Amino acid sequence: MRARTRLAIGAVSAVAGAALLTGCGDAGSSGTDAPQTSASGAGCAPVAGQQLIALQDDKKLQNSDNVIPAVNSKAANPQLIAALDKVSAALDTPKLIQLNKAVNEDRKTPKVAAEEFASANNLTAGIAKGPGGDITVGAGNFAESQILGELYRIALTAAGYQVKVQQIGNRELYAPALEKGEIQVVPEYAATMAEFLNTKANGQNAQPVSSPDINTTVTALKAEGDKAGLTFGTPAAAQDQNAFAVTQAFADKYGVRTLSELAAKCSGSATVLGGPPECEQRPFCKPGLEKTYGLSVGKFSSLDQGGPLTKSGLRDGSISVGLIFSSDGAFATS
């Protein structure tokens, strides 16, 4: 589904994360009934519902994967970085969710969604003119990256550049193009990019450099970027990382809003975890839930990585909890 490999199911990185957004109000769920707690060891059977929420990662299983602009160092200058930082300042996770919903569910183009957001948030106000010239913004082959690329285009155009957005593909394709200067700017994700550069420079078994703390992660990212000729701007508050989702109806029935509560109330045979096949082996998915939270599930359902199969499994009551992305438009409440 997405070009980048999410850290939460990747083979590398330290215990990580940030608290994730929770949605509110499932249609048809009054929220007035007392939460049910399963009998010890029974688990929590799936509960169908349309509205999805992300359970809070209160023990920080996931790393800090904040959106951050990546720039070829030869193209970087203070005005260009400042323009990109305006985008970072305007974005938090709820806004990123709404942008993804606008494209993936409301069927707007990334360009239209970005332009509407820029207008509503006065994105270009106060942007200083740079030296100008041609800038190519690379974007991955998924909607969120294309939206971010269009936001960078808007900000850089206001700074006096001639900008085009070019869809490049996955990180293995666009990262070399960025380092060579064939493209000058790419929207990135702090922890994922830090580990990509780390393992590229130091091998697949390199000691992880990313962290639950965004400042620690960005410090490591910039150090790795210096070696590759890359400069990074300021990270946005917006994060796109792995999230464990349930339906609002499930959360209301069992009284769970955090992963700790899920483990305490729902460990047992009736609980079904859904996600990509590799979730069963990777440290930030099923093994991470077991080690960090003590969650025991009765069954694992092999579906997809944050895609339509997992979301359908949640909504139709096939799985209790599923791995999707924290900025997914499915978490939008309006």
Helix runs in the chain, H state only: 78-90, 93-104, 110-120, 143-158, 171-180, 190-202, 214-228, 248-254, 259-266, 286-288, 308-315
Residue 41: predicted pLDDT: 76
Contact 191, 65 (CB under 8 A): yes
b (16+ CB within 10 A) / e for 51-69: bbbbbbbebbbbbbbbbbb
In the block, residue with structure tokens 């999707």: 324
Residue 305: predicted pLDDT: 86
- Domains in the chain, CATH or no CATH each: 7-62+241-331 (3.40.190.120), 67-232 (3.10.105)
From 77, 90, 62, select the one nearest 6 (Cα to Cα).
62
Q: Residue 241, exposed/middle/buried by CB under 10 A (0-12, 13-18, 19+)? A: buried
Residue 3: predicted pLDDT: 43
Residue 170: predicted pLDDT: 86
Query: Which pair of tokens denotes residue 264?
Result: 């305490």
Residue 39: predicted pLDDT: 44
Contact 87, 236 (CB under 8 A): yes
Cα separation, 87 vs 73, in Å, equals 19
Residue 35: predicted pLDDT: 53
Task: Output the CA angle 71-77-83, nearest 5 degrees.
Answer: 75
Question: Helix, strand, coil % (nearest 5) of the chain?
Answer: 40, 20, 40
Task: Output the CA angle 213-216-221, nearest 5 degrees.
Answer: 120
Q: Give the pLDDT of the chain (334 residues) as one tens digit per residue.
A: 344 444 434 433 333 333 333 333 333 333 334 455 444 579 999 999 999 999 999 999 999 999 999 999 999 999 999 999 999 999 999 999 999 999 999 999 999 999 999 999 999 999 999 999 999 999 998 999 999 999 999 999 999 999 999 998 889 899 999 999 999 999 999 999 999 999 999 999 999 999 989 999 999 999 999 999 999 999 999 999 999 999 999 999 999 999 999 999 999 999 999 999 999 998 889 999 999 999 999 999 999 988 999 999 999 999 999 999 999 999 998 6
Query: Which pair of tokens denotes residue 159?
Result: 């700074």
Query: Which pair of tokens denotes residue 302?
Result: 């092999």
